[in-house]
Amino acid sequence: MELGVPPGALDSIDLLVPSAKTRRDLAGVTSHVHTGIVETGSLLAIGPGIHVADIRLTALQAAQDLSFVELVEYYSEICGSYELPLDPDDSYRERPPLTSIVELQAYFDSMSSCCRGSRKARRALQYTRENMRSPLETALVMMLVLPRSEGGLGLRTLRTDHRIDVPPRAQHLTRRHHFYCDAYLPNPSIDFEYHGFKHDDECQATIDDERVNAMRVMGIKVLAVRR
């Protein structure tokens, strides 16, 4: 891999150039003219004379090519704690979030006058949620949050990675002092949990039962969505 790019992705390169005069007519090279101002920090140096778009600029540019639903999925991934592999045969891996909704919102607002697709990007951000830990957890949350016109349930108040402390009246039912909800709906109080392979483990199943019982005492209904 050259500078982190898989060999198979080097067959073609897209370049950002400041004017039509600086276009390069080379095999495998596509030049894109950008005459607007690029905010400081939007381009990151990765080698002598080589810069790449940072995650905020990449996210904004993605609005020009991705559909609205694809854009929400992409923003959820870069604001989440996982990333999809370059090789589709590999599994996803965990990593810290690359950015946040607040950071993207501020950047999109600052670049709205000079970048095509900023309106769609800002709308997709309204349906993006943070700190999800897997692609299928993201799929679950998108089904709950997306507007009905896009196939979702339109539950805009849904919170992800929401912490709930266990009160004294429920502490005898669980070894946990607090829970993190994959997707929590405040009214009515519902905790949507995505159960992947690890929940097939007997020990994990016991912990899941404790959670359900403690949450019930706390007035919260747990709905487990299995793979």
Prediction pTM value: 0.83
pLDDT at 117: 84
What pLDDT digit, counting tens, does each position of 165-223 carry? 999 999 999 989 999 999 999 999 999 998 876 766 667 777 788 999 999 999 999 99
Q: 5: which strand partners?
A: 2
The Cα 128–Cα 121 span in angstroms is 10
pLDDT of 200 reads 67
Predicted confidence at residue 31, as pLDDT, reads 85
Helices assigned H by DSSP within the chain: 55-62, 68-78, 101-110, 118-126, 135-145, 202-217
Q: Nearest Cα to 114, choosing from 43, 35, 219, 45? A: 35
Six-digit token string for 211: 């959670």
Positions of the chain with pLDDT lower than 50, given as ranges:
1
Contact at 8 Å (CB) between 207 and 199? no
For residue 60, how far is the Cα from the chain centroid? 14
DSSP string, 72-101: HHHHHHHTTTEE--SSTTSPPEE---S--H
Residue 92: count of CB within 10 angstroms of its CB: 15
What is the predicted pLDDT for the residue at 26? 83
What is the predicted pLDDT for the residue at 216? 94
Rounded to whole angstroms, how far apart are CA atoms 135 and 73?
Answer: 9
**Integer Cα distance of 203 and 226 in angstroms:** 17
- What's the chain's average pLDDT? 88
Cis peptide before 188 (omega within 30 of 0): yes
pLDDT of residue 199: 60
Distance CA 82, CA 62 (A): 19
